């Protein structure tokens, strides 16, 4: 396929990595779940950066990071073995993350919600899970770069080559509509404790010929 986003790995340039972390920290401020878990105090900006750094480091270790050429589109697409413990459990059991980002009280609350979210995905077999996907505001929409479309193509290429589905969820309506426009099937609506509606979705690749 042509014009796909750049795949990143452990050899990512240091300056690119720092910019990616900055961009993710900015994008996290638009994500309802992030706004809920990040402790709101004088260190809030540092907490967003710490969370973004944690996410990117983990994505690089798991070869799950997908970044557009201009670094304005970032996605984390994990390959998950449904029979094993979910990485979210490891994340929220990390007391260092709770200390630097959430505080213990918010961390435990987030863990409870994430356990419910995890149960919406398979407990057996292998699948791709879109943990994060964000595009900076000035790269959204139908532009010459078509960042979202090219990133979507990368998701689908991985799904097709591996012959496994992609699961995703979101509480942002415009994002849910975009997923469905790109070919995801809506599986379920869930009334989140915040009052928002979380939409669970799945993409099934065509059979490999």
Q: Does domain 6-203 match CATH 3.40.630.30? A: yes
The predicted pLDDT at position 157 comes to: 94
Confidence of residue 8 (pLDDT cuts 50, 70, 90): very low
| Whole-angstrom distance, CA of residue 168 vs CA of residue 120 | 10
Which tokens hold the place of 142?
A: 């139908």
Confidence of residue 143 (pLDDT cuts 50, 70, 90): low
- Angle, to 10 degrees, between the axis of helix 14-28 and the axis of helix 44-61? 120
| Whole-angstrom distance, CA of residue 151 vs CA of residue 69 | 10
CA dihedral over 168, 200, 166, 108, signed as positive or negative: positive
pLDDT in tens, 23-75: 999 999 998 878 777 888 888 899 899 889 988 988 998 899 999 888 999 99
Average pLDDT, the chain: 82
The predicted pLDDT at position 4 comes to: 45
* CA proximity to 147, closest of 136, 162, 158: 136
- 166 neighbors 13 (Cβ within 8 angstroms): no
The predicted pLDDT at position 84 comes to: 73
Chain-centroid distance, C-alpha 187: 18
Burial zone of 58 (CB within 10 Å; 0-12 exposed, 13-18 middle, 19+ buried):
middle
The predicted pLDDT at position 111 comes to: 65
Prediction pTM value: 0.82
3-class SS at 32?
helix
The domain locations on the chain are: 6-203
- 64 neighbors 87 (Cβ within 8 angstroms): no
Helix/strand/coil percentages in the chain, nearest 5: 45, 20, 35
Confidence of residue 11 (pLDDT cuts 50, 70, 90): low
pLDDT in tens, 147-190: 888 888 999 999 999 999 999 999 888 889 989 988 999 999 99
């Amino acid at each position: 396929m042509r014009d796909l986003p750049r795949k990143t790995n452990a050899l990512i340039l240091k300056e690119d990595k720092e910019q990616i972390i900055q961009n993710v920290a900015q994008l996290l401020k638009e994500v309802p779940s992030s706004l809920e878990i990040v402790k709101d105090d004088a260190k809030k900006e540092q907490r967003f950066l710490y969370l973004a750094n944690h996410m990117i480091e983990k994505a690089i270790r798991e070869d799950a990071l997908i970044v557009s050429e201009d670094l304005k589109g970032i996605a984390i697409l994990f390959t998950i073995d449904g029979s094993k413990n979910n990485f979210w459990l490891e994340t929220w059991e990390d007391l260092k993350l709770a200390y630097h980002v959430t505080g213990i009280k918010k961390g435990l609350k987030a863990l409870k919600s994430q356990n419910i979210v995890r149960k919406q995905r398979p407990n057996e077999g292998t699948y791709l899970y879109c943990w994060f996907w964000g595009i900076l505001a000035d790269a959204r929409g139908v532009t010459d770069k078509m960042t979202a479309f090219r990133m979507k193509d990368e998701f689908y290429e991985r799904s097709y080559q591996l012959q496994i589905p992609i699961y995703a969820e979101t509480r942002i309506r415009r994002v849910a509509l975009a997923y469905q426009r790109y070919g995801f099937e809506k599986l379920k609506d869930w009334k989140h404790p915040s009052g928002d509606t979380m939409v669970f979705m799945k993409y099934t690749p065509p059979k490999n010929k």
